[in-house]
Amino acid sequence: MKTFTALGLATCLAGAVAFAPAAHAAEFTMKISHSAAPGDPRDQGAQKVAELLNNSKTCDIKVQVFPSDQLGGSETIWEQVQLGGVEVMIAPAANLVPYEPLMGILDLPYFWPASPEQLLEVYQSEAMDDLLKLPEAHGFIVPGVWHTGYKNWTSNKALHTPEDFKGLIVRVMPSKILHKQNELLGMQNVSMNFGDTYSALQSGTIGGQDNPIPLIYNMKFHEVQKYITMTNHGILDQVFAISKIFWDKLPEACHTEIRDAINEGGKVTYAANEKLITEDLEKIKASGTTIVELGPEEIAAIKNVLEPAVRDYYVELVGPKGQELVDGFEAEFKKMGIN
């Protein structure tokens, strides 16, 4: 009787397993890669996109976020996105410049509105729509840009004047515009993956880098740098770049939901970044790193070295379309009353 019962139970269990409904496998899988640490505003935005799409009732998609360059560094990941091996990369626009040099306009120093609210308004303009169509020819769909703050320089000395920058060895992204910017200030450029920056600063291989305050704090750059100089010289805003190979496989309903999710993710990123700026500055000060606040005349002296020289270099580099983009954005600034 015991043998029969055990056998019968085993048979029933086997039958239950055999007839149990299989776990649903989503029709589409979307991996989102970025280089920031978990919890960074960029990561919070990416997680919001994943949350919205994973709960979609009309787009059968599974989304997973991979922070901290888990899928590969910035020098290799873009080719994977282009070929469809990775579906999404969230990264500074400078990373798209090797594919589409016209995207370098987002790297221009002291060109964009100093007010984040006005900057976000510009991002809704026809001029921005015109710019974001360009990467498609190179295999990238870019539905939007996320604001993640204005860049400031970290170093082991205070940077009050243009002369103070001379000779500083700094990490730079793969954008000729950024290379030119740094060269005009007399700095030496070193290209490297973002994830290698901390160790390079710690070892003294490089002596500085520029990023927004929340990213400086999250990456702990203040631990290995004595000063942060508040130059606010440029934006480090993120393109949400989707593989065109992947995008073209999706139904229109997914396109709409992804665009809506990116918009919501951008709002989360912006709110998180704005909240963290003040908090992180206080934490950085408490750690012993000195925050250098520049006066209007000091900012003007640095700006005069860079602007309009870098803008003119951009137009020279990319040609008439570059001038058309510059004119388009400057027309938007004028409509908004920005000088």
Bridging pattern class, strands 28-34 and 188-191: unpaired
Positive or negative, the CA dihedral 294, 198, 278, 273 is positive
Where is 31: in which H helix or E strand? strand 28-34
Strands 88-92 and 28-34: parallel
What is the token pair recorded at 165?
């920058």
DSSP state of 159: -
Give the separation between CA 88 and CA 239, rounded to whole angstroms.
Answer: 10
The yes or no reply on domain 152-235+279-335 and CATH 3.40.47.10 is no
Of 238, 245, 237, the C-alpha closest to 30 is 245
Predicted TM-score (pTM) of this structure: 0.89
Q: If DSSP codes are grouped into helix, strand and coil, which group holds residue 240? A: strand
Proportion of the chain in helix, strand, coil states, percent, rounded to 5: 55, 15, 30
Count of residues for the chain? 339
* Domain spans in the chain, listed from the N-terminal domain onward: 28-100+109-147+237-277, 152-235+279-335
What are the CA-CA distances from residue 96 to residues 128, 256, 266 (Å)? 15, 24, 19
Cα separation, 277 vs 157, in Å, equals 22
186 SS3 class? coil
Q: Which residues contact 143 (CB under 8 A, 6 or more apart)?
A: 132, 240, 242, 258, 259, 262
8 Å CB contact between 298 and 160: yes
Asked whether the beta carbons of 158 and 293 are under 8 A apart, the reply is: no
Rounded distance between C-alpha atoms, residue 232 and residue 236, angstroms? 10
pLDDT tens, per residue, the chain with 339 residues:
344 444 444 444 444 444 445 556 889 999 999 998 899 999 999 999 999 999 999 999 999 999 999 998 877 899 999 999 999 999 999 999 999 999 999 999 999 999 999 999 999 999 999 999 999 999 999 999 999 999 999 999 999 999 999 999 999 998 999 999 999 999 999 999 888 999 999 999 999 999 999 999 989 999 999 999 999 999 999 999 999 999 999 999 999 999 999 999 999 999 999 999 999 999 999 999 999 999 999 999 999 999 999 999 999 999 999 999 999 999 999 999 987
Domains 28-100+109-147+237-277 and 152-235+279-335 are alike in CATH topology: yes
Q: In the structure encoding, which two tokens stand for residue 191, read together?
A: 């290209």
CATH code assigned to 28-100+109-147+237-277: 3.40.190.170
Per DSSP, helices labelled H in 125-243 are 126-132, 162-165, 176-184, 197-203, 213-218
